[in-house]
Structure 1
Amino acid sequence: MTAPALSLPKQVAQHREVMLNLLREVAPESAKWVEELRGRRRRKPTVVTIGETNRGKSSLVNALLGQPGLSPVDADVATATYLVFGHAEQWEARACYPGQLAPVPVDLSQLVNWVSAAHELPEGQLPPRYVEVDGPVELLTNVSIVDTPGVGGLDSVHGELALEAAASATALLFVVDASAPFTVGELNFLRNVGDRVETVIFALSKMDAYRGWRQVLEANQGLLRDHAPRFADAVFYPVSARMFEMAAKAPNPDAVAMLREKSGVPALAEAVQELVIGKAAMLAEANTLRAIGTSLDEVQVQLSAEARALTTGADEAKVLRERKEELTAQRKSSTRGWQVKMRTETQRCRMENTHEVSREMRDMQTWFRQAIDAADKDKLAALPGEVDVALQVVSRRISHSVGARLNRIGETVLAGLFTRDELAVLQAQYARNGQPPVVLRTPEKRPGTSEDKLMVMMGISGGVGLGKLATMPLGIFGAAAAGTLGVVVAPVTIVLGLGAGWWIAKTRKHAQEKQHMKTWLTDAIADARSTLDQMVADQLIQAEQELSLALDDALGKRIAAIEEELREVDKAMRLGATERSKRLQQVNKHLAEVGSGKERADELLSRIRSAKVRPAGASSPAQGTSAAG
């Protein structure tokens, strides 16, 4: 009788231990690093709720948390601020301005003031990027839940903000209601999000209010097959937040249990737990496999060098000495060709970013001028908030493009300096150190006077300290790709407009008439463009300086490594023939194990990426989850 096939998680765990044992034997330092990295993987997965206005999204979040009224329901006019719910022993909240200002404690009774433009912010406060709310909720011990602003619709600039949130989520909780099938905006959003997120859970809300919810559900499934085929086999969770809230007022425990079960909320919560946490565990294992792959790349280079030393010692020593002289000359040269190349690439990056900022701002102004022409009184009043969100979206696009172009500079210059094998060793060294070679320092903070507030809100945020060049494989610390030897420059996060639209709207007098609004819009976008141009230019200047120092340091590290390799070659040449043959046999055995281990790791990573994780018992439309995972 043949043994039953191992499940994918067990296969991954088995291969992980085999490779760790190999690393413990041939590279103990690397094995220790992988184990430490795996020990730090306890970061909770994140579920981001997405939905159009009035779909019952915030009510459903409150029901999942068992806290009616916690997340403000259908705030009159949402801002770009979103809510992040986490676990704590006692309820606490804070408004967050990442990378710029210290968090500000928030009274839960005033939460709506921080997330709705229809309510005044507490006196002297600025709009936050997000508000963290922590409390003693069992569901939140294993997962964080993000409630995104829904005003404006998924086919507006708020939809782009939702796409951005989706990109960093472990899973999406996509909320539609039972009043009617998917809108065009919802279907377009699902088409766009298909390549950005692994897992989507669908919730059909307000099913108690609409008797025809089953027909709507069937229509939604048909629309997904036609317009978003990736989710064609999705299973929906019909839910009623209102019914779940009614359970708290039921006359007896039996009625409480019945209402809660019929609400569908417990089934959805169970799916969130099982599906998301299960998927997160597999993604964590994937990161462990990538870290092992990084170490195996380095070990393979070192074993290959040792094999050459044992077979052609004198020739290998000659090659190493020539390479050391070449790199030393590169480092000492007054012209430094690599610096010239770096400056050329940086200048090209600067021009490309200038053109991109100009195009983005021009397109945004055109879009809003058309929106003003078509707006009624209420739409006109809401436009400043929409401009605020659009400024955030545009600034993040620019931020990502700056990061991508800095990536290209690093790849171009480093690829010209080092061989593929040398890059593999450098990547592993920097990954183990945990500190990238380039850290863009936060600029001096100006006093928070009223004159400075606009600049603060339009300043560099989101963690300028995260703008780092790191020579490590993509995916080691959660990047998207894997199995490459390319170099990564983590994006310089330049987030313009955390409150720019809000501040300009509050500090400039403008009438509601359309022509006055167009004048205000022109001024606001001109201010934003000027500030963004300056921020990008400053960051590129700093990045060039830091990159130059990092490359010089990398050259020094490689020269030192060559000197160590020369000492190892000298030792190998002094070995007797028998001992040398025995050692060569062992090195070749390890090389074969490394090669097959890397192939197996790549195969398992591919299977993890395509794996579909379902919660146990998902068998009916009322209890299931998306097949998108």
Structure 2
Amino acid sequence: MKEVDGRVESGSVGVRLDPDLRTAAVAARRLLVEHGFEEIADRGWSQMRSRCPTPAVVVIGEVNRGKSSLVNALLESPEVSPVGVDLTTSAYLRFVRAGDELSAGDARLIFAGRSVRRVNAEEVAAWITEDGAHVQDSEVDMLPLGAEIAVDAAILRHVQLVDTPGSGGLDTRHARLALEAVGAASVLLLVCDSAAPLTSTELRFLEEASREVDSILLVANKIDKNPRHWRLVVEEDRRLLARYAPRFAGSEVWGVSARYAATALSQTSGERRDALLRLSGVPALAEHLVRHAIAPDVGVAKGLRILYSGLRELDAHVTANRRAASGHPSMHKELIAQREHLQRCREREGQWREYLQRDLSILQSDMADSLERKLDRLQSDWRAKIEASHLEVMRRSRQLFVAEMTADIEVLMGELSVEFSTGLNRVVESLFDIFPGVDIADEMPDFSDLPIRAADVKGRGQGLGDPQMVMMGFMGSSAFGPALATALGMAAASAASLGIGAAAGGVWVAVNLAFRAVKNGKSALLEWLTKTSNAVRIDVTRYIARKVNEIRPTLASAYRSRLQEAIAESKSLLASAEQAARRSQQERAETVAEWDAISASIARGMDELEAQLARLSSSAQTKPDSSKSGSSSQK
């Protein structure tokens, strides 16, 4: 990481480290290092300097709301995102800043197994639209799950834009997959109608989306078609939000015209062009999106919190030593009681291990029950969809069935990963209650090393599981596991600590088997679904058992290590207390004063870090003046 004009570059987004913030962080780190807390000091400083992914604005909306037209207007390009045709129900378009990795006008098609094909951006539509040449080609078995397109647009210097699938209307699954595909989504932008209030579908979507996303912005498009009354519609939208989606009652509703913006962008520079752009409201919306999406650097804020936590630990250490140095008789008694308690904990370590075995066994059983429920629901939902679909539709759009089933399996895996990690944290918090702050992030499950076995469909799908397919699948598992999760965007979990590279190899095999199975009719596809679900059940169960067996000795070792450290510190404090009791009152006072000086430095450091964290949080919540909103610009 490097500094440019006082700004620390973090991923594609720089976060300004002003002198006050830098001074506070450096002082806290120096204080920790001086008193033997190098590990947490280095961890906090490293986190502050870690790369932060570019935040994303994910655009979603009902059919015919002008969603893709708005994306093109924000990108200042009229034809980058396909308009007037539907995307496949699984494919997303991610627009990123052109650079060394991908030049402007170039694109990457992302397939299952994380295989990537570079194409010209103009070729993308043929691969991802329902009427695209490759989609309609019966000889093409594998279609991309998404595409990444490089564009030289001003807004992409700060955020990435994601255009969600267009067919099928609003679907919370579209939003969830798109949000998690980018791994750093900051804003979900819902494009609605400026001529009519929010529909029941949109309100239901907002209610469901409130469980998936933190920030939603509503944009009423096509205000040019309702110039007199669109503001009344927006006011009604606000009332509906307050009644049916109260969490987003305070969300801003912007009025824009993507058509005005497109017309302006087609003209040469001049006053008329600028006036039409202002009238469209799109530039003001783009400015707001950048401000709203770019929250304080997550790495910087997290690093400050780690340093703050370190100062709290140091403060507890200093307080204990100060009390020991005071030579007060009560302190001596407390330290003896603490030492005896720790010794009893060591003597009962065998019993503690039994508790660990019990709690991990309960967690393993709970995970098995959750897996069974999720698989039953997945199979039931997909059986209904398959049975309700005409064979000709399935053949014409087979990639839609297969990609969505693959996505659902990945979502299931990600949900299990979150549940498993949450359960492990509960076990640790319960059993390590005398040693708060135990970090087991490295032991958190991510399912990335789980190669789900693909089902070998028989009968009408005879020969689908040929050795070459299986071998390619396992190659995919080792090479593309973590990356596929990013492409598909499954599961709401922190990528840094949990990850979701769910069985890429097995899923890749399953995808190919399903493409072939769907050509052989519903029965073959249903059989594939059943057998693949059974394979998931067996392999995930084995994986969880293996993970539990791996983490049990790790936790036991961590407990013993923490216990030994606590006993050693207790002995040291007791020795200090006994030594202080033999010193003169003046000597004790001088030693206490030294500890007080250190404590005062710690308090000042914690106050400074608190102030910086509050300032970062405040800047994230600051909204632009209402005079800059798209709504106001229409007056």
> Which category describes the TM-score, using the shorter chain as reference length?
0.7 to 0.9
Greater CA deviation, 524-533 or 381-390? Answer: 381-390
Q: How far did residue 143 of structure 1 move?
A: 1.7
Q: Structure 2 residue aligned with 1:351, among 354, 357, 365? A: 365
Evaluate the alpha carbon distance shift between residue 353 and residue 557 of structure 1 in structure 2; reply closer, same or farther with a 3 A threshold: closer
Letter in 2 for 1:450: M
Q: How far did residue 187 of structure 1 move?
A: 0.9
Q: Name the counterpart of 2:469.
A: 450
1:57 equivalenced with 2:67 (yes/no): yes
Evaluate the alpha carbon distance shift between residue 595 and residue 490 of structure 1 in structure 2; reply closer, same or farther with a 3 A threshold: farther
Q: Structure 1 residue aligned with 2:122, among 86, 104, 109? A: 109
Q: Name the counterpart of 2:174.
A: 158
Q: How far did residue 545 of structure 1 move?
A: 3.6
Query: Do the aligned residues in 2 keep the contact of 1:46 with 1:171 (CA within 8 Å)?
Result: yes
Q: Name the counterpart of 1:37.
A: 47
Distance (Å, rounded) in 2 between the aligned partners of 1:187 and 1:448? 49
Q: Name the counterpart of 2:277.
A: 260
1:220 equivalenced with 2:220 (yes/no): no
Greater CA deviation, 117-126 or 254-263? Answer: 117-126
Distance (Å, rounded) in 2 between the aligned partners of 1:385 and 1:135? 27
Q: Name the counterpart of 1:412.
A: 427
Evaluate the alpha carbon distance shift between residue 191 and residue 442 of structure 1 in structure 2; reply closer, same or farther with a 3 A threshold: closer
Query: Do the aligned residues in 1 keep the contact of 2:342 with 2:567 (CA within 8 Å)?
Result: yes
Query: Do the aligned residues in 2 keep the contact of 1:190 with 1:228 (CA within 8 Å)?
Result: yes
Q: TM-score, normalised by structure 2?
A: 0.74
Gaps of 5+ in 1: 1-8, 467-477, 481-487
Distance (Å, rounded) in 2 between the aligned partners of 1:501 and 1:255? 55
Q: Name the counterpart of 2:204.
A: 188
Query: Do the aligned residues in 1 keep the contact of 2:450 with 2:502 (CA within 8 Å)?
Result: no
1:301 equivalenced with 2:316 (yes/no): yes
What is the DSSP-based 3-state SS (H/G/I as helix, E as strand, rest coil) of the residue aligned with 1:171?
Answer: strand
Letter in 2 for 1:403: V
1:238 equivalenced with 2:238 (yes/no): no
Query: Do the aligned residues in 2 keep the contact of 1:492 with 1:539 (CA within 8 Å)?
Result: no
What is the DSSP-based 3-state SS (H/G/I as helix, E as strand, rest coil) of the residue aligned with 1:508?
Answer: helix
Evaluate the alpha carbon distance shift between residue 413 and residue 310 of structure 1 in structure 2; reply closer, same or farther with a 3 A threshold: same
Letter in 1 for 2:319: S
Q: How far did residue 403 of structure 1 move?
A: 2.8
Letter in 1 for 2:234: L
Provide the aligned length of Structure 1 versus Structure 2.
577
Distance (Å, rounded) in 2 between the aligned partners of 1:568 and 1:74? 74
Alignment of 1:141-152 (within 5 A): 141-152=157-168
Q: Name the counterpart of 1:281.
A: 296
How much is the aligned-residue C-alpha RMSD, in angstroms? 4.7
Query: Do the aligned residues in 2 keep the contact of 1:268 with 1:623 (CA within 8 Å)?
Result: no
Q: Structure 2 residue aligned with 1:396, among 411, 429, 443? A: 411
Q: Structure 2 residue aligned with 1:197, among 206, 213, 233? A: 213
Evaluate the alpha carbon distance shift between residue 207 and residue 619 of structure 1 in structure 2; reply closer, same or farther with a 3 A threshold: same
Letter in 2 for 1:358: E
Distance (Å, rounded) in 2 between the aligned partners of 1:304 and 1:588? 9
Q: How far did residue 63 of structure 1 move?
A: 2.0
Query: Do the aligned residues in 2 keep the contact of 1:346 with 1:544 (CA within 8 Å)?
Result: yes
What is the DSSP-based 3-state SS (H/G/I as helix, E as strand, rest coil) of the residue aligned with 1:68?
Answer: coil
Letter in 2 for 1:217: V
Q: How far did residue 479 of structure 1 move?
A: 6.0
Distance (Å, rounded) in 2 between the aligned partners of 1:227 and 1:444? 41
Greater CA deviation, 565-574 or 36-45? Answer: 565-574
Greater CA deviation, 488-497 or 59-68? Answer: 488-497
Distance (Å, rounded) in 2 between the aligned partners of 1:260 and 1:538? 59
Q: How far did residue 614 of structure 1 move?
A: 1.0
Distance (Å, rounded) in 2 between the aligned partners of 1:465 and 1:22? 37
Evaluate the alpha carbon distance shift between residue 19 and residue 124 of structure 1 in structure 2; reply closer, same or farther with a 3 A threshold: same
Q: Structure 1 residue aligned with 2:588, among 556, 566, 580? A: 580
Greater CA deviation, 119-128 or 204-213? Answer: 119-128
Q: Name the counterpart of 1:523.
A: 527
What is the DSSP-based 3-state SS (H/G/I as helix, E as strand, rest coil) of the residue aligned with 1:436?
Answer: helix
Distance (Å, rounded) in 2 between the aligned partners of 1:441 and 1:132? 25
Distance (Å, rounded) in 1 between the aligned partners of 2:174 and 2:573? 60
Deviations 1:190-220 (A, max 9, x none): 1223354333222222333455544443433
What is the DSSP-based 3-state SS (H/G/I as helix, E as strand, rest coil) of the residue aligned with 1:139?
Answer: helix
What is the DSSP-based 3-state SS (H/G/I as helix, E as strand, rest coil) of the residue aligned with 2:191?
Answer: strand
What is the DSSP-based 3-state SS (H/G/I as helix, E as strand, rest coil) of the residue aligned with 1:198?
Answer: coil
Query: Do the aligned residues in 2 keep the contact of 1:194 with 1:230 (CA within 8 Å)?
Result: yes
Q: How far did residue 586 of structure 1 move?
A: 4.4
Query: Do the aligned residues in 2 keep the contact of 1:440 with 1:543 (CA within 8 Å)?
Result: no
Distance (Å, rounded) in 2 between the aligned partners of 1:397 and 1:599? 43
Q: Name the counterpart of 2:400.
A: 385
1:363 equivalenced with 2:368 (yes/no): no
Distance (Å, rounded) in 1 between the aligned partners of 2:450 and 2:205? 40
Evaluate the alpha carbon distance shift between residue 52 and residue 382 of structure 1 in structure 2; reply closer, same or farther with a 3 A threshold: farther
Distance (Å, rounded) in 1 between the aligned partners of 2:611 and 2:205? 32
1:83 equivalenced with 2:83 (yes/no): no
Q: How far did residue 236 of structure 1 move?
A: 2.8
Distance (Å, rounded) in 2 between the aligned partners of 1:383 and 1:101? 19
Query: Do the aligned residues in 1 keep the contact of 2:172 with 2:209 (CA within 8 Å)?
Result: no
Query: Do the aligned residues in 2 keep the contact of 1:53 with 1:74 (CA within 8 Å)?
Result: no
Deviations 1:485-513 (A, max 9, x none): xxx973665367966885344201557xx
Distance (Å, rounded) in 2 between the aligned partners of 1:125 and 1:584? 76
Q: Structure 2 residue aligned with 1:247, among 247, 264, 267? A: 264
Letter in 2 for 1:543: K
Alignment of 1:306-325 (within 5 A): 306-311=321-326, 318=336, 322=340
Evaluate the alpha carbon distance shift between residue 155 and residue 93 of structure 1 in structure 2; reply closer, same or farther with a 3 A threshold: closer
Distance (Å, rounded) in 1 between the aligned partners of 2:189 and 2:272? 28
Q: Name the counterpart of 1:485.
A: none
Q: TM-score, normalised by structure 1?
A: 0.74
Evaluate the alpha carbon distance shift between residue 285 and residue 299 of structure 1 in structure 2; reply closer, same or farther with a 3 A threshold: same
Evaluate the alpha carbon distance shift between residue 608 and residue 524 of structure 1 in structure 2; reply closer, same or farther with a 3 A threshold: farther
Greater CA deviation, 183-192 or 154-163? Answer: 154-163
Deviations 1:280-312 (A, max 9, x none): 127666434432332133223322332343246
1:436 equivalenced with 2:445 (yes/no): no
Deviations 1:536-558 (A, max 9, x none): 22431342243134324423355
Greater CA deviation, 65-74 or 500-509? Answer: 500-509
Letter in 1 for 2:123: Q
Evaluate the alpha carbon distance shift between residue 296 and residue 448 of structure 1 in structure 2; reply closer, same or farther with a 3 A threshold: farther
Distance (Å, rounded) in 1 between the aligned partners of 2:268 and 2:208? 46
What is the DSSP-based 3-state SS (H/G/I as helix, E as strand, rest coil) of the residue aligned with 1:208?
Answer: helix
Q: Structure 1 residue aligned with 2:516, among 507, 511, 516? A: 507
Query: Do the aligned residues in 2 keep the contact of 1:87 with 1:141 (CA within 8 Å)?
Result: yes
Greater CA deviation, 315-324 or 39-48? Answer: 315-324
Gaps of 5+ in 2: 1-14, 454-465, 487-492
